[in-house]
Amino acid sequence: MIPYRPSAAGAVLAIIALALTAAPATAAPAQAVPREVVQAATVEPPPEVLDAMRRDLGLTREQVITRLGNEEQARRLQPKLRAKLKDRYAGSWVNQEGSLVVATTDAAAATAVTAAGAQAKVVARSLATLTSIKGALDTTAGQGALDAAAGKGAGRKVPVWFVDERANTVVVQALDTAAGEAFVAASGVDRAAVRIETITERPVTFQNLRGGDAYYISGGTRCSIGFPVTQGGTQGFVTAGHCGTPGLTTSGSGGQSQGTFQGSSFPGDDYSWVAVNSQWIARPAVNPYGTEMVPVFGSAEAPVGSAVCRSGSTTHWHCGTIQERNTSVTYSQGTIFQVVRTNVCAEPGDSGGPFISGYQAQGVTSGGSGNCSAGGTTFFQPVNEILNAYGLTLSTVSTQCAGHPNHHFNELTAHQGSFGNLIPDAGIYPPNGFASAGAGTHTACMDGSGTARMRLSLQKYTCCGPFGTPIWVEVATTGTGTTLKSLTTSQPAGTYRWVVSVSDSIVVPTTPIGEYYFLGTTSPA
């Protein structure tokens, strides 16, 4: 028998919960805009859009309607003016009322801009010039020239740069002025065209710790996260002892710094735990490499013969049964005692990954024999022993919604929209709907830390739109405002689906992107 030695080959990247935030704006006093633009702003927006813009932008209902109408006119007018100005075009934006402002390097062209219904601004540099400067900075960063000019690691001090069309310049945001100056100098661009700003924080992505995701030890070998845990105010995860020793560092997908091994025992035992930095959040979930997460409710020990499943970064999700407890197994490095033998397959890189029975954590993958093509035997180290050894607390789901036959556990995600916005995604369960053969009562319950901003709805399938596109009609909803959502509705026979959504039309600081929610549902057969 040999332990699973992780390998970097075939690594599966961990999923990033990205939240993009944007600072809310404060409305300025209304200003005169072209008459035809204001008259176009007569369409009532959806309630969710209206409410979110009133709340987050500090606008009145009338200002929201006017602004959306003006922005629609701006979207139509902007490409026409850009095409007309050609190399004299220097950028465009909308003001707080949504009216279009177009910059040009030609004072004579300003009259044509104004006549078309936009506001004109005459500037020194064309957008093509600014874009070229920004491109030179991109090239410098990609080639590592900044580190060469300002010393190793200097590139990390310049996290952001962009074209500021309103100011007709390129902005470099750096942690200190010297690093910003070195970056600009290394690129060889016109220093007068660049504004250097100092910032005190670095943009980071916040990543979820989930059982089964890959992690890398000291930048080399790969193992799998077992179960997220906490020790006091410190977050981390348990994993296999043979994956690392105290002091070794770990990284996540893309090489992002993650944590440090705090304790490890191997051989004799095969367990360890890693404390992570503030960019990582311990989630009570196992990644089954599907569309949803598996929640962790606790760590009650399952009897021999129980079904058990395992997640790992090499072979992902596999199941089998517990064959024997209190097993001793000898690897080339020595003997491991009191592990659990299973007929679940595993392969190198799956080491440290979670074993779970139902919603109860069982242990972390140690080693075994065979593979997931021909089958094999795998041993796991019981998780409760690890928790007791290091004084750790297992991250678990606490929910009031578990008393339903159907469970869904997932995180709120978003996708890239127009103008660089992130648009929240709806959670749909099940994706293709479920059939209810007769009339009856549908009930659902949803909770989670971010659910005050979410809605829970039941939709009914009706056929069909153009080209056979299915149409789903909302028949019941909870609205927003409370953390715990309950929905009960009587409906006729048909095909239905549950939908989790948020009131925000784009991602703003309070949108709960990355937050997990638990949904329990009961419906007629």
**Catalytic residue numbers, as ranges:** 242, 270, 351
32: burial class by Cβ within 10 Å (0-12, 13-18, 19+)? exposed
Handedness of CA 397, 400, 402, 406 (dihedral sign): negative
Q: Which two tokens stand for residue 421?
A: 């916005």
Checking DSSP bridges between strand 257-265 and strand 249-251, what pairing results, if any? antiparallel
CA distances (Å), origin 405, targets 401, 521, 522: 10, 7, 6
Q: Which residues pair with 324 in a beta bridge?
A: 341
| Helix (H/G/I), strand (E/B), else coil: 242 | helix
Whether omega before 430 lies within 30 degrees of 0, making that bond cis, reads yes
For residues 373 and 317, what is the distance between their CA atoms, to the nearest angstrom?
13
For residues 177 and 199, what is the distance between their CA atoms, to the nearest angstrom?
10
For residues 337 and 359, what is the distance between their CA atoms, to the nearest angstrom?
25
Backbone angles phi, psi at 394, to 5 degrees: -70, 135
Q: To 10 degrees, the CA torsion angle through 433, 434, 439, 445? A: -80
CA distances (Å), origin 80, targets 92, 102, 168, 472: 12, 11, 21, 37
Handedness of CA 503, 505, 508, 513 (dihedral sign): positive
